[in-house]
Amino acid sequence: MLTPSARSNVEPFYVMEVLAAAAERQRTHGDAISLCAGQPSTPAPQAVREAAARALDGELLGYTQATGILPLREAIAAHHRDWYDIDVTPDDVIVMTGSSGVFTTLFLAAFEPGDTVAMTRPGYPAYRNTLQALGCQVLELDCGPETRYQPTVAMLEALPEPPRGLIVASPANPTGTVIDPEELAAIARWCEEVGCLLISDEIYHGVTYGRPVASAWQTSRQGVVVGSVSKYFSMTGWRLGWAVVPQELRRPLDVLTQNLTICPPAITQYAAVAAFSAQARVELEGHVQRYAVNRDLLLRRLPALGLGSFAPPDGAFYAWCDIAHLTDNSIRWCQDVLAATGVALTPGLDFDTARGHQWVRLSFAGATEEIDEALDRLDASGLLRP
C-alpha cells in the first residue's frame, strides 16, 4: 500500500476549501458574494494583456534563463530603485513561479532540516506549512494589538536563542498591518548582527492607505526581499514572483530553480515587463483607490454591526476581525454564514492555529456595492448577534 510521506502531512490551506464552497453556492443558488479570496477582483493591467498577446505571436516562448529574462529583471530592479531609492541591479533579482515559488526555493537554499525559522502568529499559513514539509522547526511569535500584530526587536531579543531565519510580512496577511520603518530597520540590523536570515515579504507593497512602509533592503542587503505580481499588480494566476537576494544566495537559488521548475512561465515573464510601465501604474492606482473606498466602508460599518474589534488595516485588502463573542468554531460559523447568506468569509484557523477559531478574515478587494450588500445580508441574518 502506498504511504504518503510524513512530511506531506501538513495542514490544508483552508481558504482554498472555502473558495470551493463559495463556488458551489454560486452554482446551486447563484447568489454568492466572496469576501474570502485573497486576490484582486480585476484582471491584469491592459498593458500586460497586450504584451501577452504580442508575446504569443512574436516569441518562441520556450524555456528561459532559470532566473528570469533580463528585460524583466531590469524592470524589477528599476522598480525597487524607483520606489525605495536603493541600488538594485538585475543580478540581485531572481524571478520565480509566484512568491510561493520563491519561498520553497529560498527555504531549501537557506535552511537545513531542523533549523528554526520564526514567523508571526497570526501569519500567512503557507510559510509554516512549507517550512514544516521541509523539516524546519517553525517558531510562531505571538503578536497582538500592542505591536500591530507585528514582531519587534524586543520580542526577538527575548528568545532563548536567535532563530536561523525570520519571516516578516508588511503589509501582512491576514491582518493588513504594517511594520513601522524604524522597527523594520531595527529588525534588519538585529538579524544581521545575530546571523539570522531576514525574509521580508513585501508582496502587498503598493496597497497601503497612508501609513509609511519600508523595504528591508533600505537597511540591510543581507536579507531577502520577496515581491510578486499577484497583489498590487492584479496578476495572481499568472504565477510570477521575485526575490532580491544577497550575493551568497544567487547561485544556490539559480541551481535549485534549474532543477525544480527550469524557469518561471515564459509568457508571464514577457507580459509582466509591462506591469511596471507608466500606463499600468495608472490602472493599478485606480484599484488601490477602490480598495481605499471599500476599507472606509468597512471601518464605518463593522463597528455598527458588532464587529468592532479588528486589526488596523494599514495595507493589503483584509479586515482581521475578532468574533470571539459569536463563536469558538470559526470554520462552522463561516459555513453557517455561507449557508444563511451566500457570503463567503475566511475562517481564521489558517492564519492562527492558537486563536483562529475565534477570528475571521474579510477580503475587501471586490466591488464596493458587493461588500455593502454582503454586510447588509450579514446584518439581516442575525448571525452577528451573540
Q: Which residues bind ligand PLP (CB under 6 A)?
A: 38, 98-100, 124, 169, 173, 201, 203, 228, 230, 236, 241
Q: Which is nearer to ligand PLP, 164 or 361 (CB)?
A: 361
Residue 256 identity: L
- Tell me, rounded to whole angstroms, the distance of Cα 157 from its chain centroid: 26
CB of 8 to ligand PLP, least distance (A): 19
**Cα angle 252, 254, 255; round to 5:** 65
d(CA 233, CA 268): 13
385 Cβ neighbours under 8 A, 6+ residues apart: 306
CB of 74 to ligand PLP, least distance (A): 20
Residue closest to ligand PLP, measured at CB? 98
Q: Which is nearer to ligand PLP, 169 or 343 (CB)?
A: 169
CB of 169 to ligand PLP, least distance (A): 5
Q: Which is nearer to ligand PLP, 55 or 169 (CB)?
A: 169
CB of 306 to ligand PLP, least distance (A): 27
With beta carbons less than 8 A apart as the criterion, state whether 44 and 233 touch. yes
Q: Which is nearer to ligand PLP, 131 or 378 (CB)?
A: 131
Quote the strand ranges of 189-347, DSSP E: 197-201, 224-228, 241-244, 318-322, 343-344, 346-347
CB of 379 to ligand PLP, least distance (A): 28
CB of 301 to ligand PLP, least distance (A): 24
Quote the strand ranges of the chain, DSSP E: 33-34, 93-96, 116-121, 137-142, 165-169, 197-201, 224-228, 241-244, 318-322, 343-344, 346-347, 359-363
Backbone angles phi, psi at 382, to 5 degrees: 80, -5
Q: Which is nearer to ligand PLP, 66 or 167 (CB)?
A: 167
Q: Which is nearer to ligand PLP, 147 or 363 (CB)?
A: 363
